[in-house]
Structure 1
């Protein structure tokens, strides 16, 4: 028996009911998010960032009497009770606000993806527009003044001088600096293995002056019960806070007032001096470990001698008289 031919037009198929969203409290959602971050093997630094920002987010809502249940949080709440509150009540800068907003967006994106909420209030949440601030850097004379401050007759002074030389030579971030172990130094290749953001490794070159200095420091450091390159007088790994405090101290001793003496200022100074010495954007990106060229281009635009030389040629005032 021959079957009847089917119609070639597909009839509308009724949508099946979507699975019901299981409502959850903030604590459950937060723990699920942090667990997912651990499964993804995010760095401890990143985990700490998410913990701090999300718990502060919850505390901020509680202080304002706003429900912290994820499904109750809306876009207007994020704008009014986070952005405006941080601006007006807490007096936070745009960078601090955006730091929190990035964590909030990651949190709600996770909840939406895992069907722990229906509507994602952070989907249309924009970061606060930041003012472009002038990048602070040291002058060559300021660098010389800072380098004169450590007492190199002491272990801490010799160590701190070595740290500053390494920051000037490589522009590494302070966390990257404190994560360096002795075995990360590739003596034969004149390179140091740096563990960057998101577990991205890169090899950063060092030249003979810094290499010689590091060899001498490693000899003075001697055998200690950990692999950290830079250690305290008690032979414990040096922390980022301790590095920041030591550099700030030397800045005060050198009477530097117009520039913040911090590890990041050393990083910006490395970039400036590298550009002025002819580094191209791709070499600078590789050494600094930037994921995009945006910041590197910014350095080039700010510090390239080509811009200064070109301005001498087209300066309207100079051509006027």
Structure 2
């Protein structure tokens, strides 16, 4: 039988050099380490790839756009939109890397957009709730409760992330400021403390004393404090204080941002204090909590001051 001039798709696949998932993951994560991505980011990618493979029967490197679309449709039956979008972001990074380095011919994520989701209200604590929380913490009169009071003050004063707070060393405290080294975007920044936080922090350091760990915040065994412990503690305090909102480090961060905006701080300054890498989230905060637009128009309208 006479051979065809052109090879079939199956024959082309035999000739073409292919890569399997294990090889692709090895190259992708090597690149992550070379870029010095945070361990938490690498772990996030690993978890999302593992989760995606539960929905896709073929190799991830063999996926086409329709496979990703099917993954989305199946995921919608079981997962929240925000969870699906988190997975899609991880897959986008993975396929962008493979396509850029010519390890796959087509990028299955090229035309895939994140799912639209309703913007939920961002919860913050008001003055009375903060005061109730402080009173609840102070009732215990223990090292742990005093430590947690100081942690709360630092959160509300600076807006630092939980991961940043647990990474603070004693030597990072400089009178009225803290040097934040363990940041999300790897850029160190300085945050500032009010007088009351400075005073309580000095008292805490005196009570803390000299221990083996250099971390500022420690547990009752004098070891460094873990993020999960802080989260658990404040959830308990919130329930005891009868606060019907999520009481967490992220809530404190939002509360600090809102209070700063209501006090008149500009978006660029807030972005710098919070350590945002771009203005997107900061602008959302300003839009949510900024001064009333009608009042701004009355104050700064283009015709104000003209004698017409």
Structure 2 residue 169 is the aligned partner of structure 1 residue 153: no
Structure 2 residue 173 is the aligned partner of structure 1 residue 178: no
138-147 or 289-298, which deviates more:
289-298
Q: Distance in 2 between matches of 1:167 and 1:281?
A: 19
Q: Distance in 2 between matches of 1:55 and 1:227?
A: 36
Q: What is the deviation of 1:308? A: 7.1
Distance of aligned partners of 1:269 and 1:308 in 2 relative to their CA distance in 1, 3 Å threshold? farther
**Corresponding residue to 1:74 among 64, 77, 80:** 64
Structure 2 residue 74 is the aligned partner of structure 1 residue 85: yes
Partner of 2:279: 293
Partner of 2:306: none
Task: Describe the superposition over 1:227-250 as per-residue Cα deviations: whole angstroms up to 9, x where unpaired.
Answer: 211111112221221111111111
Q: Distance in 2 between matches of 1:217 and 1:21?
A: 65
Q: Distance in 1 between matches of 2:132 and 2:293?
A: 28
Q: Distance in 2 between matches of 1:307 and 1:215?
A: 42
Structure 2: 5+ residue stretches without partners:
1-14, 300-308
Partner of 2:236: 249
Question: Is this contact kept in 1: 2:153–2:197, CA < 8 A?
Answer: yes
**Corresponding residue to 1:279 among 265, 276, 283:** 265
SS at match of 1:136: coil
Q: Distance in 1 between matches of 2:292 and 2:112?
A: 40
304-313 or 97-106, which deviates more:
304-313
Q: What is the deviation of 1:294? A: 2.4
SS at match of 2:136: coil
Q: Distance in 2 between matches of 1:21 and 1:48?
A: 32
Task: Describe the superposition over 1:254-288 as per-residue Cα deviations: whole angstroms up to 9, x where unpaired.
Answer: 0111x211111111110111111121111111111
Q: What is the deviation of 1:310? A: 5.2
Question: Is this contact kept in 1: 2:53–2:60, CA < 8 A?
Answer: no
Structure 1: 5+ residue stretches without partners:
1-19, 314-321
Q: Distance in 1 between matches of 2:187 and 2:80?
A: 29
Q: Distance in 1 between matches of 2:285 and 2:159?
A: 13
Question: Is this contact kept in 2: 1:112–1:118, CA < 8 A?
Answer: yes
**Corresponding residue to 1:35 among 24, 30, 43:** 30
TM-score, normalised by the number of residues in structure 1: 0.83
TM-score, normalised by the number of residues in structure 2: 0.86
Question: Is this contact kept in 2: 1:244–1:262, CA < 8 A?
Answer: yes
Q: What is the deviation of 1:146? A: 0.8
- What is the Cα-based RMSD across aligned positions, in Å? 1.9
